[in-house]
Chain A
Amino acid sequence: MLAISRQRILGQCFQKIRPAVSELRSYSSAAKQITVREALNSSLDEEMSADPKVFLMGEEVGEYQGAYKITKGLLEKYGPERVLDTPITEAGFTGIGVGAAYYGLKPVVEFMTFNFSMQAIDHIINSAAKSNYMSAGQISVPIVFRGPNGAAAGVGAQHSQCYAAWYASCPGLKVLSPYNSEDARGLLKAAIRDPDPVVFLENELLYGESFPVSDEVLDSSFSLPIGKAKIEREGNDVTITAFSKMVGYALKAAEILEKDGINAEVINLRSIRPLDRSTINASVRKTNRLITVEEGFPQHGVGAEICSSVVEESFAYLDAPVERIAGADVPMPYAANLERMAVPQVEDIVRAAKRACYRSVPLAATA
Chain B
Amino acid sequence: MEAALTKKDCIITSYRDHCTFVARGGTLLEVFAELNGRQAGCSRGKGGSMHFYKKDSNFYGGHGIVGAQVPLGCGLAFAQKYCKDEAVTFALYGDGAANQGQLFENLNISALWDLPAILVCENNHYGMGTAEWRAAKSPAYYKRGDYAPGLKVDEMDALAVKQACTFSKEHALKNGPIILEMDTYRYHGHSMSDPGSTYRTRDEITGVRQDIEKEVRKELDNAVAQAKENPVPESSQLFTDVYAKGLGVEL
Contact = CB atoms under 8 A, between A and B. Distances in A.
B75 A98 contact: yes
A89 B108 contact: yes
Contacts of B108: 87, 89, 92
B47 A134 contact: yes
A337 to B, nearest CB: 39
Contact of B109 (A55, A87, A102): A87
B78 A172 contact: no
Bin chain A's interface residue count. Answer: 35 or more
B208 interface: no
A127 interface: yes
Contact of A136 (B47, B70, B74): B47
Interface string A116-149: 0000001100110001111111111010000000
Contacts of A134: 43, 46-48, 51, 53, 61-62
Contacts, number: 152
Contacts of A194: 245
A221 B65 CA distance: 39
A254 B182 CA distance: 67
Given A134-B47, A172-B242, A227-B247, A96 B60 contact: no
B10 interface: yes
A98 B44 contact: no
A142 B63 CA distance: 19
A346 interface: no
Contact of A96 (B46, B62, B109): B109
B109 A86 contact: yes
A211 interface: no
A95 B74 contact: yes
B109 A92 contact: yes
A174 B82 contact: no
Contacts of A105: 79, 82-83
A103 B10 contact: yes
Contact of A55 (B82, B106, B240): B82
A138 B46 CA distance: 12
B68 interface: yes
A132 B82 contact: no
A122 B82 CA distance: 25
Given A92-B102, A196-B244, A81 B82 contact: yes
A102 B73 CA distance: 10
B79 A104 contact: yes
A122 B70 CA distance: 13
A306 interface: no
Contacts of B53: 134-135, 138-139
A95 B12 CA distance: 13
B75 A132 contact: no
A86 B105 CA distance: 11
Nearest to A97: B75
A95 B72 contact: yes
Contacts of A126: 63-65, 68
Given A135-B53, A139-B53, A94 B71 contact: yes
Interface in B140-196: none
Contacts of B211: none
Interface in B199-251: 240-245, 247-249
Contact of A99 (B78, B101, B113): B78
B249 A274 contact: yes
A171 interface: yes
A91 interface: yes
A93 interface: yes
Contact of B68 (A55, A127, A138): A127
Given A86-B109, A92-B108, A99 B243 contact: no
A289 B47 CA distance: 43
Given A92-B106, A99-B71, A102-B75, A87 B112 contact: yes
A274 B247 contact: yes
A350 B109 CA distance: 50
A104 B112 CA distance: 23
A102 B245 contact: no
B36 interface: no
Contacts of B70: 95
Contacts of A91: 71, 101-102, 105
A264 interface: no
Contact of B245 (A133, A171, A195): A195
B82 A96 contact: no
A100 interface: yes
A55 B75 CA distance: 13
Interface in A202-250: 225-227
B72 A140 contact: no
A99 B53 CA distance: 14
Interface of A: 55, 81, 84, 86-87, 89, 91-105, 122-123, 126-127, 131-140, 142, 171-172, 174, 194-196, 225-227, 274
Interface of B: 10, 12, 43-48, 51, 53-55, 60-65, 68, 70-80, 82-83, 101-102, 105-106, 108-109, 112-113, 240-245, 247-249
15 contacts: A87-B112, A91-B101, A92-B108, A93-B105, A95-B75, A122-B65, A132-B241, A133-B46, A134-B53, A136-B47, A138-B54, A172-B242, A174-B243, A194-B245, A195-B245
Return the 9 tightest CB-CB contacts between A and B, nearest first: A99-B75, A95-B71, A92-B105, A103-B79, A99-B72, A89-B105, A140-B244, A136-B44, A96-B75
